[in-house]
Amino acid sequence: MIAQIVGEGQPLVVIHGFGVDHRIMLPLEDALDESGWQRIYIDLPWAAGNADVDVSSAEQVAQGALDDIHEYLGDRSFAVIGNSFGGMIARYVAHELRDRVLGLATLAGVFEPTHEARILPRRQVVREDPSVLALAGQVRNDYEELTVVQSEATLEAFTRYALPGLRSVNQTILDRVAAEYALSVEPEIAHPAPFEAPSLHLFGRQDHVTGYEDGWKLRDHYVRGTYAVLDAAGHNAHLERPDLTAALVKDWLARTSASAM
């Protein structure tokens, strides 16, 4: 479901991660607005407000995203950015519609769907702050689970952008998709020709959920890809390193705009 459309210009499809909704991507708004793209935020099936249409696999989620894009954009060209599980869906979209996709970005993207097969760094909190954990109160467990930089700024960002989606999720749909979390064929295998549009693949150095090594393995496929592994960043890298993330996203969109001319 298309949740929100902001601005005017060349379309940019924005896809959130697993167990949250489109609001997790709203911290990028300033960077995206300055770049002059129309942002099309998609809510994946478990987000509040979506009807339960019996989606039960990542493959069906990906096809649903394609359907939303077709419905709103028709045959128009666009760029796509995805976070975490949404990064995997964005890769699927970018390869299935390669002739229309101007650019692809993944933020802490899923590149290895099987958690046990991922190459992950050890769990590490770079900056501990007991006063922030105390301030978190009832949301402490959710906040502490993924955060590697404990600060009032990251707590505020988590509470504002991540928590609403976490708290309103349709758990029944989420559980069904979790049981069939992998695509039937990875996009780069289904479409093995090198991806030649500008891309960005941003990872957290301390991301113990998806890591960065599995994405790095595909660097030769993304021949115009910028790869960045940010220190002091976990799975919510764009919340913990917002300025650097914004700079890299703006650079990607500038490269994408130039390539589309």
User: What is the overall mean pLDDT for the chain?
Assistant: 96
In 54-124, beta strands by DSSP E = 78-83, 101-107
Query: pLDDT tens digits for 214-227?
Result: 999 999 999 999 99
pLDDT over 80 (residue 261) = no
pTM: 0.96
**Cα 128 to Cα 195: distance, rounded to the nearest angstrom:** 40
124-140: average pLDDT: 96
Q: What is the pLDDT of residue 9?
A: 92
91-126: pLDDT as tens digits: 999 999 999 999 999 999 999 999 999 999 999 999
The domain spans of the chain are: 2-121+168-260
Percent of the chain at pLDDT exceeding 90: 93
Pairing, β 101-107 against β 2-6: unpaired
- Spatial distance between the Cα atoms of 91 and 46, rounded to a whole number of angstroms: 20
Q: What's the pLDDT at 225?
A: 98
- Split at pLDDT 50, 70, 90, the class of 49 is confident
Q: Is the pLDDT of residue 129 over 80?
A: yes
Distance of CA 161 to CAs 59, 118, 127, 249, Å? Answer: 26, 27, 21, 18
Confidence (pLDDT) at 50: 84
**104: phi > 0 → left, psi -120 to 50 → alpha, else beta; which?**
beta
pLDDT tens profile 169-202: 999 999 999 999 999 999 999 999 999 999 999 9
Helices (H), 74-227: 85-96, 130-136, 140-146, 152-157, 163-168, 171-179, 187-190, 213-216
- The mean pLDDT value for 138-143 works out to 95
Q: What is the mean pLDDT of residues 41-45?
A: 96
Fold that domain 2-121+168-260 belongs to in CATH: Rossmann fold (3.40.50)
pLDDT beyond 90 at 51: no
